[in-house]
Amino acid sequence: MLALNIVNVSLSLAARPILSGLSLEIHDDRVIGLIGPNGAGKSTLLKLIAGEHTPDAGTLTRAKGVTIGYLAQEPLLDPDKTALEEALSALPELAQIEAELARIEDRLSDPAVYGAEKKLAHALDRQAQLHERFDALGGPIFEQRVRQTLFGLGFDEADLHVRAAALSGGQRKLVGLTRLLLAQPSLLLLDEPDNHLDLDGKAFLEQFIRDYAGAVIIVSHDRYLLDRMVDEIADLEAGRIQVYPGTYSEYAFEKERRLARQQQVYSIQQREIDRLEAAAQRLLVWGRTYDNEALIKRGKNILTRIEKLDKIDRPVLNRKRIGLELNGWRGSNKVLEISALAKSFDGVPVLREVNLLVRHGERVALVGPNGAGKSLLLRMILEQETPDAGAIVIGPSVQIGYYAQHHETLDFAQSLIETVRRVKPMSENAAVAFLLKFLYAYKQMHQAVGDLSGGERSRLQLALLMLGGANFLLLDEPTNNLDIASAEVLEAALDDFEGAVLTISHDRYFLERIAGRVVELKAGAITEHLGSYREYLAKR
């Protein structure tokens, strides 16, 4: 059954066309993986469905009774509310009922009410109705359900009372998911819900989607998740959507096959058009040469036939990708050696007796739950944090390149051109030529970094890594916000990189592709796992 039907929808934002004649059927029992390059309009489409945008043309028809829940890339939480308070806001009707019940109790203590039979009866009737509705919504055990859900997601009692402003990105996502889980809308819109989630969080998300009773549209660049969860792939490109049944891997194969077929049919049609145009031109030349109106008419008729043809679009077989090249160089054999490292905050140990050795050419995956101290360990390697005990030794011929998860290394006030020239002196023309390799429009290059989307900032960080010429890369969630094509370019560049890599990532596909060794940081210590990332997952 259709939950929502989108027909011929077009939308422009700031005079820029985003969606053009887009149509999509959303069934009430299907999981749709919405994919497409950064900037294609995936988030815009979700906001359109959620009612945050109004289409310029076309229609969105929602089935009767359909409710929509929307999880944005960065969930909007009240920074002053705790995780528990935010999760409890999942059912605002409960709060409204509680407030009205409190007002009724105040009225019942008013002599003007309890002394007047009709007013008293009306208040008691209303109180009974509210209690009935409160019970139907699960009000008496609602807070217990909220707590159980948050505990199941890895929160402990102390986490529940942390203000939203102090929660990690993964924790904010999980609070947002908790609210949706409790509200149970019939159509879920999830915009990159897996970003910032650790392995346990991703496992919960997959189970959550698998068990969900309604329809789900999920924007994700996690190819592993898209292979396991979705019933169909909706490929958004150039403002329109093409739907492919099956998983991401099935989509990738089928899209390649369709493009090859389209190229074949396009070539055949072009040859026929060329033949007809040549014939029309001969008839027109002969008709004018010999003043023969019949020949001229036949020539014009052929041209009219060509104009009325249902022309096949020329397929784009090789989409432009970022031009990332990571040219490291041979340095020390021992790139990084960490011995008995310890770090505490407010008397609470985060790292204790951490030992790690990284050698030249290694690709090491640093994994572990959110909050285990993985990013802290990278900051200590970079001397941005000071250890309480232990030692960190960097090889003498090692130059470090750092990719920050939240783009902290970028100056949001600078333009893209200024950012590039700060890392490596060059002319403005050279900076423009360099940025074009990373798919930025000329107009963007003069804008502030703060105006870029998350994916565009990620590409800029990769560009700076390329300019830096480091031979030891510290990568903190490098594929977050990258579209699939850019993630594939990064994987290929790391394959060719002459140097060592230590990466934090929860992108299972990425880690399976690049990791030669897995080290797990948990309970303050590191455990080595021999074998591939897939073997590590199997052991877990």
Q: DSSP strand E in 63-186: where?
A: 68-71
Q: How far apart are CA 360 and CA 20, in angstroms?
A: 50
Indicate the helix (H) or strand (E) that contains 408: none
Element (H, E) at 296: helix 293-308
More confident call, 37 vs 445: 445
Bridge partners of 37?
none
Alpha-carbon gap, residue 13 to 483, rounded angstroms: 21
Lowest mean pLDDT among 71-80, 195-204, 207-216: 195-204
Q: Are 537 and 515 in contact (CB under 8 A)?
A: no
Contact 457, 481 (CB under 8 A): yes
**Bridge partner list, 237:** 240
How large is the C-alpha radius of gyration of the chain?
Answer: 29
Contact between 520 and 529 (Cβ < 8 Å): yes
* Between residues 101 and 87, the one the model is more confident about: 87
In this predicted model, what pLDDT tens digit does every residue of 348-380 receive, in sequence order?
A: 888 988 999 999 999 999 998 877 889 899 999
Q: Which residues pair with 341 in a beta bridge?
A: 354
- For 424-436, the pLDDT digits (tens) are 999 999 999 999 9
Could you tell me the two tokens for 234? 């909706």
Using the predicted structure, report yes or no on whether residue 416 has a pLDDT greater than 90: yes
More confident residue, 233 or 346: 233
pLDDT computed for residue 317 by the predictor: 61
Strands 334-345 and 240-245: unpaired
**Residues, the chain:** 540
Percent of the chain with pLDDT over 70: 98
Residue 204 sits at φ, ψ, to 5 deg, of -65, -45
Global confidence as pTM: 0.77
- Ranking 85-94, 209-218, 321-330, 431-440 by mean pLDDT, the lowest is 85-94
The pLDDT score that the predictor gives to residue 256 is 85
Where does the pLDDT of residue 113 fall: very low under 50, low under 70, confident under 90, or very high at 90 and above?
A: low
How does the average pLDDT of the chain come out, rounded? 88
Give the model's pLDDT for residue 211.
86
β-strands 57-62, 334-345 pairing: unpaired
Task: Quick: pLDDT tens for 184-194.
Answer: 899 999 998 88
The residue with greater pLDDT, 478 or 173, is 478
166 secondary structure, DSSP code: G
